[in-house]
Amino acid sequence: MSKPGISLIISFYNKLNYLKLVLAGLEIQSYKLFEVIIADDGSNETIVKELQYIIKNSHLDITHIWHKNIGWRKNEILNKAIKASKSDYLIFIDGDCIPHSKFIEEHFKNHAVNTVIAGRRVNLSPRVSELLTSEKIKKGFLEGRLFWLLLFDSIKGKARDVENGIYIKSKIIRKLINKKDKGILGSHFSLYKSDILTVNGFDERYQAPAAGEDTDIEFRLRLAGINVKTLKHIAIQYHMFHKKLTRSEKNIEILRKVKSKRIFYTPYGIYKS
């Protein structure tokens, strides 16, 4: 592959059991012309060695980008992954989000200049998260009987957004459902590399989870005149269960200043001033 049609960037840190499931989902994608970049925010040596073995034996085109662990630096490693990407079009996902088999195809079909494609996700229950294996994913478990298991778990309050897993083919229904954009999830969006370079990538001052990798980038992209297009029930991913992360007060203060200044280009991004 000289130049892939899409660069899929996965943010990752230590949870190799989750990443294996994500890679299994990528192996059964209907659209094949893509590279995978693992943006590793400082995983330990044991994990890195095992990951290198997986990459060596994978049929996927995978590049591993790593930096030393000095705390939460997700935005910094994502910026490094953007610079390393070979394609003009980028998809961003998290290392605990498994793609539907049509995931990359739908991003590719719906991409447009000056537009962010924002998908939604199903939040899996603890039970279903524990049931998943790479083999099950490759055999289509996520798109088969999973829905009924999750529906039962959602009634008990153990799973959320189960309806987001319904894949709709009708163009008319797709258009009706997605009249209004729903905003960007940091774990699931795509855009042209030139568009994210317009805002200089992710702001590296955010050094804790939440706000920095989605709310901030969404605000600055919109400010730069980039539209948001929602692909609910079209581009689907399945989010593995974990405890909800708390929002950082420092992040919130940085975001408040960004919004008050209304400057879309961050000097703390890919290219430093």
In a domain? residue 272: no
DSSP code for 14: S
Q: Is 269 inside a domain boundary? A: no
The sign of the CA dihedral 165, 169, 171, 176 is negative
Q: What is the CATH number of the domain that holds 66?
A: 3.90.550.10
When divided into structural domains, the chain yields a total of 1
CA 43 to CA 190: how far, in whole Å? 25
Residue 273 within any structural domain of the chain: no
Q: Would residue 152 count as lying in a domain?
A: yes
Residue 270 maps to a domain: no
Asked whether residue 271 is assigned to any structural domain, the reply reads: no
- Domain annotation covers residue 267: no
Cα–Cα distance between 134 and 25 in angstroms, integer? 8
Is the residue at 150 inside a domain? yes
Q: How far is CA 112 from the centre of its chain?
A: 18
**pTM of structure:** 0.94
Using CA atoms, how far residue 237 sits from 3, 13, 16, 71, in Å, is 25, 19, 18, 27
Domain extent, residue 144, equals 6-261
One digit per residue, pLDDT tens: the chain, 273 residues? Answer: 457 899 999 999 999 999 999 999 999 999 999 999 999 999 999 999 999 999 999 999 999 999 999 999 999 999 999 999 999 999 999 999 999 999 999 999 999 999 999 999 998 988 888 989 999 999 998 887 776 677 767 766 677 878 888 899 999 999 999 988 889 988 999 999 999 999 999 999 999 887 777 899 999 999 999 999 999 999 999 999 877 767 788 999 999 999 999 999 999 999 997
Q: Residue 60: is it exposed, middle or buried by C-beta count within 10 angstroms (0-12/13-18/19+)?
A: middle
Find the farthest-apart pair of alpha carbons in the chain and give their distance in angstroms, rounded: 52
